[in-house]
Structure 1
Amino acid sequence: MPIFLDLKDAIAEVVKDGDTVAMEGFTHLIPFAAGHEIIRQKKKDLTLIRMTPDIIYDQLVGAGCVKKLIFSWGGNPGVGSLHRIRDAIQNGFPYEIEIIEHSHAAMANAYEAGASGLPFAVFRGYVGSELPDVNPDIKFISCPFTNERLACVPAIKANVGIIHAQKADRKGNVLIEGIIGVQKEVILSSSKSIVTVEEIVDDLNNHPNACILPALTIDAICLVPKGAHPSYAHGYYPRDNQFYKDWDSISRDRDSFQHWLDTEILKLGEE
């Protein structure tokens, strides 16, 4: 059964320096609050996994928490580049980071393999791609039944999986609605898990096709209203498009990023 914890306590207890951490959420339910708490606690040497590392990973890299990124696309959606990640890759600031790039299909299949307890994922992919030339984790095998050439990648099995969801009941079951992405696979494939939620309720009032994470799959649940902001939470609040636009100028310069970090993230940890 999961433990209901304050987010600060959950991050302190579950996320350790050097861990591999997967933080997922596709267009909405991105666990920004959890990422900010990781920054405040100055976790370091993390390997971060995410299908679409957007500005939350830009913030974590810029704050010096990261040594490696495993991902399938990186950018500020609808705006442009991730300047803190770019600065780390090109200039080693604040630290050099290693990058392992995959396709979306590879990442989704790798999460599914991890959730299923398999050592690797097999799929049709990477035909004509140059990624196998730069990513040693991409291999090819022949189907034992048809001799078809298939791609395979290692299963994703993070130390910690972190997601945001709409609500949890008091028994620790979690409801996810809207665009699901790979949230359930992250929880099922990770050794430990943290779920932040908008509210804790007596009854989830779920419908037959709802995505429910049963309590036995979760280690910690944290009540964090607006825990996905500036992304959106279906049924609770919209996407803060202006912040995504503003992030381009905030993150483009090292000094402006540090000012944002000091005033908007680190200062909150002192209050």
Structure 2
Amino acid sequence: MADLLSLSEAVQRFVHDGDTVALEGFTHLIPTAASHELIRQNKRDLTLVRMTPDLVYDLLIGAGCAKKLIFSWGGNPGVGSLHRLRDAVEKGWPQPLEIEEHSHADLANAYVAGASGLPFAVLRAYAGSDLPTVNPMLKSVTCPFTGEVLAAVPSVRPDVTVIHAQKADRKGNVLLWGILGVQKEAALAAKRCIVTVEEVVDDLNAPMNACVLPTWAISAVCEVPGGAHPSYAHGYYERDNRFYQAWDPIARDRDSFNAWVDEYVRGTRDYAEFRHKLAHANAGEAN
């Protein structure tokens, strides 16, 4: 059953050094606020899992929180590379980063297998691909019924999954709508699950076919308005394209990255203070 906690309390209680942590959300509902809190609490030696590492994992890698990345695509969407990810892989700064690369299809199926309590996922994939030559975790199995050789990938079972959603009720049931990635599967595959939401309400008023995660699948619900910025939250706010563009020069240089993190993440008490400080800085630039 989900507890209604502050994000700080939830991260302190449920995320431990050395954990495998999945921060999932596709295009929108990306749990940015949670990535900040992991940095504030100086979590270390994390194995990070995400289908599409973008700014949230560039932050965590550059801040020295990660030892390994399991992923299926990485970049600053619409802009270019993730410079902190590249620096860690190519030059070991701020520390070496092990990477395990998958396709979208196999990582999505690995989450499904984890949510189903299965040891691995099977899919028809990788014919003609050289990805299995660089990822020894990709194996093959022979179908006992047809004799067909298929690809197999270990299930993903995070210690902690963190997602962002639009609403939760006071019992801890969570409602998501709009474009969904693998949030549901990642939540159900995890030992513990933290959900940040735009608001906590008395009644979800869930429309037909909406995704509702039940309270029994969630460890903590944290009310964090704006917690997906700079991605968007469908029905609440739009994508901040300017932030994605501004991130490129910030993250490109080690000193500018450290200065930004020290001021806006480590230098703020919580995500509300971060948003206030960022808005004030943007207003100053506009003037």
**1:228 matched to 2:228:** yes
Partner of 1:267: 267
Give CA deviations for 1:154-192 in whole Å, capped at 9, x if unaligned: 000000000000000111110000011100111100000
- Counterpart of 2:6, as a letter, is D
Distance 1:81 1:134 in 2: 21
Q: CA deviation at 1:247?
A: 0.6
What's the counterpart of residue 6 of structure 2?
A: 6
Between the aligned partners of 1:120 and 1:28, the Cα distance in structure 2 is 28
Letter of the 1:177 counterpart: W
Query: What one-letter code is carried by the residue in structure 1 that aligns with 2:165?
Result: A
Shift of 1:146: 1.3
Matched residues in 1 for 2:117 and 2:149: separation? 23
Other-structure match for 1:78? 78
**Cross-structure match for 1:125:** 125
Give me the TM-score of the superposition, normalised by structure 2: 0.93
After TM superposition, give the deviation of residue 269 of structure 1 in Å: 2.8
Task: Give percent identity, aligned residues only.
Answer: 65
Structure 2 SS opposite 1:268: coil
Residue 285 of structure 2: aligned partner: none
Distance in 2 between residues matched to 1:232 and 1:192, nearest whole Å: 25
Aligned residues: 271
Q: In structure 1, what is the equivalent of residue 107 of structure 2?
A: 107
Aligned to 1:250: 250
1:154 aligned residue: 154
CA deviations over 1:188-233 (Å, ceiling 9, x no partner):
0000010000000011011121100011100000000000000000
Q: Tell me, what secondary structure is at the counterpart of 2:266?
A: helix
Alpha-carbon separation, structure 1, partners of 2:268 and 2:130: 44
Q: Can you list the C-alpha shifts for 1:42-97, whole angstroms capped at 9, x where unaligned?
A: 00000000000001100000000000000000000011000000000000000001
How many angstroms apart in 2 are the aligned matches of 1:163 and 1:33? 10
TM-score normalised according to structure 1 size: 0.99
CA–CA separation in structure 1 for the residues paired with 2:259 and 2:97: 22
| CA-based RMSD | 0.9
1:212-264, Cα deviation, whole Å (9 max, x unpaired)? 00111000000000000000000000000000001110000001101110111
Which stretches of structure 1, 4 residues or longer, exceed 6 Å deviation after superposition?
none
Supply the distance in 2 between the matched residues of 1:261 and 1:173 (Cα, whole angstroms).
33
Instruction: Give the Cα separation in 2 of the matches to 1:52 and 1:127.
Output: 23
Structure 2: state its 5+ residue gaps.
Answer: 274-287
Q: Kindly report which structure 2 residues correspond to 1:1-271, keeping only aligned pairs within 5 A, or say none.
A: 1-269=1-269
After superposition, give the CA deviation of every residue in 1:71-129 in whole Å (9 maximum; x if it has no partner).
Answer: 00000001100000000000000000100000000000000000011000000111111
Instruction: Give the secondary structure class of the aligned counterpart of 2:112.
Output: helix
Q: Distance in 1 between matches of 2:61 and 2:245?
A: 19
- Tell me the amino acid that sits aligned with residue 201 of structure 1: V
Structure 2 CA distance for aligned equivalents of residues 146 and 241 of structure 1? 49
